[in-house]
Chain A
C-alpha cells in the first residue's frame, strides 16, 4: 500500500515535470510581464535611469486627464465595434453563399482567404498604395470624382483602415463559419423542408442556433484582434494624420518607447489588459448564455 502510494507520487512528479517547462516559459513570457507592468505603473521610471521613485497612483490619475490617451481609446473602440459588426456579417454572409450550391466554391474561398496570410505590415503598405496611387487612377478612367485618399484626412482614416483590415480578415472568419455550416446535418434541412418552412425560418431556427459556438469564437476573436491593432498602422498611417488613427497599443509604444515614459506606459498597459480581460469575459458569458438559449 505504502509502496503503491510512493509510486503514484513518483508518477505525479513525472507528469508534473512534463507541464513544468511550458509553465515556466509561459510565466516568464506573459505572467511576469503582467506583474511587472503593474509594478512599474506605480513609478516614474523612464526606462533608462537606474533609479526611479514610487509615485503611487499618479500615473493612473494622469491617464484620465490625458487627452491623447482618450483619443487613442476612442479610435480603438470605434475601430473595434465597426470591425466586429462588419467582419461578422460579411464573413457569415459569404460563408452562407459559398455553402449554397454555387459553382467554383474553392476558387472564391481561396481568393477571399489569401489576404490573411499576409503580414499586417504588408497589408498596411499595400492599402496605402491602393488609396494614394492606384485607385485615384479610376477617377480619370471613369470620369468620376471620388475621394480615394482615405488615409489623408482624419475624417476618413477609420474607413480606410476598416477596409484594409476587413480585406485581410474576412476570409479567415468566413472559413470558420463555413466549416460550422458544413457540419450541420442535411437531414435537419430536409425535415424542415417537409414541414414547409421558408428559407429565412430555416436560417433563424436551424442555422443560427447551430452556428452559436462559431459565432462566439468569431465575435471574441475579432474583438480582441481589433483591440490590439498596431502593426497595420506602422506602414499605413503611422497613427496619423495628426493622432487620428493612433490605437491604444500605438499610443503605449509612443509614450513608453519613443517618449521614454515607462511608468506611464505601464499604467496604460495595465488598464488595457484589464479591459481586454473584462470584454472577453463579458462577451463569453453573454454569448455562452445565448448559446444555451438558442
Chain B
C-alpha cells in the first residue's frame, strides 16, 4: 500500500510545492507592482501636497526656508487673505449661479431634444441628431473668436444671461449625445399608457420621461458642472465687470498679481478646488458612470 501511495504523495507534495512557488512568485511580482504604483501615486500627489504645504507658510518662510520644508506652525493668514483677494463671496456666488443654471437648463433641454429624437424615426429628427453631433468634434475653444462676436452683436457680452446661454449652447452636443444613448433604457409602455390616457407630449415628457432620466441627468450634471466650474476662456471673453467675475477669473488675476508672494495663491487654489473635490469624492459612482456611459455606449 505504501508503495502505491508513495508516488501519489510525492506528486501531491510536488504539486503543492509548485503551487506554492507560483504563489510566492506572484507575491513578489505583486509586491513590486504595489511598490511601483505607490511611487507613481507619490509623484502624482507631490504637487497637491506642495500646494497644501505652501498654503500654510508665512511670507518669511517662503523666502527664507527650503521650499520642501514644512511650515513651523500652520498659518491661516493666507486663507483669510485669499478669501478677500478672490472676492470670494461674489465670485463663488457667481460661479455657482452660472454653473447651476446652465446645468439645470442643459439637462432639461438635452433630455427633451434626445427624447423627441429617439421617439421620431423620421429623417428630420435624425437630421437634427447629426446636426447636434457636429458640435462634439468642434470644441468651442476653436471658435471663441466668433462666439465673442455673436455675443457682442446680440448685447450678451458682460451679462449673466450671455455667459449662461453660451455654456448651454456649447454643452448641447455632448448632452444630446449622452441622453440619446440613454434613451433605450426608457420603457415605451409607460409612455404609451400615458398617451392612451390622453396625456399631451409635454406632460408625458415632464411627468413620465424626465423622472426616468434621473441617472442620465445625474451624470450629465456632474460632467458639465465641473467643466463649467473650471472654465476660463468663455468667462474671460464674456465677463469684464468685477461684479460678474467667476472664481477662475479672479484666480488668474491673483496669480499674475501675486507672482512672487504666492502663498496666498496656493491657499486660493485649495479654496477653489475643495468644492469640486468633495463633490467628486461623494459622487464618484455617478461620475465614473457618466464618463463611461458617454464613452462606451457610442
Contact = CB atoms under 8 A, between A and B. Distances in A.
Interface stretch (A31-39, A59-67, A79-87): A31-39
Interface stretch (A107-115, A149-157, A185-193, A200-208): A107-115
A44 B50 CA distance: 48
- Kindly name the residue among B146, B226, B256, B277 whose own CB sees the greatest number of chain A CB atoms within 10 A: B146
Contact of A25 (B67, B154, B168, B298): B168
Contacts of A230: 141, 233
Contact of B232 (A31, A33, A110, A231): A231
A259 to B, nearest CB: 12
A97 interface: yes
Interface in A142-180: 167, 171-172, 175-176, 179-180
Interface in B199-237: 200-202, 205, 226, 229-233
Contacts of A12: 120, 122
A277 interface: yes
Interface in A1-59: 11-12, 14-16, 18-19, 21-23, 25-26, 28-34, 36-37, 40
B169 A28 contact: yes
A91 B227 CA distance: 21
B117 interface: yes
Shortest beta-carbon contacts, A-B, top 8: A29-B169, A33-B146, A119-B230, A14-B201, A280-B137, A18-B112, A179-B292, A22-B109
Interface of B: 30, 33-34, 36-38, 40-41, 44-48, 50-51, 54, 66-68, 109-110, 112-113, 115-117, 119-120, 122, 124-125, 128, 131-132, 134-135, 137-147, 149-150, 154, 165-166, 168-170, 172-173, 176, 200-202, 205, 226, 229-233, 248, 251-252, 255-256, 262, 265-266, 269, 272-273, 276-277, 280-281, 284, 288, 291-292, 295-296, 298
Interface of A: 11-12, 14-16, 18-19, 21-23, 25-26, 28-34, 36-37, 40, 94, 97-98, 100-103, 107-108, 110-115, 117-122, 125-127, 129-130, 133-134, 136-138, 140-141, 167, 171-172, 175-176, 179-180, 183, 213-214, 217-218, 221, 224-225, 227-228, 230-231, 234-235, 249, 252-253, 256-257, 262, 265-266, 269, 272-273, 276-277, 280-281
